[in-house]
Amino acid sequence: MHEMSLAEGILQLIEDAARAENVQRVSAVYVEVGQLASVEVESLRFCFDVVIKDSVADGARLEIIDMPGTGWCIDCSQSVPMSDKLAGCPRCGGYRVQVTGGTEMRVRELEIE
């Protein structure tokens, strides 16, 4: 379950930002998760709740912002939506599609008190 290491990484970012800004408490964390990022969101939520105990983010809510998957179809020269890395182009049916977005995961915003 790599979601535990992802949650630990999020906590590290939170703690670094809180230290740099002299923040005592973080009440919410907004995280963008791409549809093609291979992240199980419910597992990430569970792991996040576990790792934030006794930290500056203890009790913070995790807000997930779903980012769509996108690709570039070489056959029809179009940017296309993607829900699976191995799916064909929804326009022409070809399989020469390069993923261009939706594989990322990043902390977008912290809500502080």
Q: Which two three-digit tokens encode residue 38?
A: 């291979």
Distance CA 64, CA 10 (A): 12
> Does residue 38 surpass a pLDDT of 90?
yes
Residue 102: C-alpha distances to residues 13, 67, 79 (Å): 21, 6, 13
Report pLDDT for 58: 97
| Structural domains of the chain sorted by starting position, each given as residue range(s) with its CATH number in brackets | 3-68+102-112 (3.30.2320.50)
Report pLDDT for 102: 97
Report pLDDT for 75: 96
Report pLDDT for 1: 58
pTM of the full structure: 0.88
> Does residue 90 surpass a pLDDT of 90?
yes
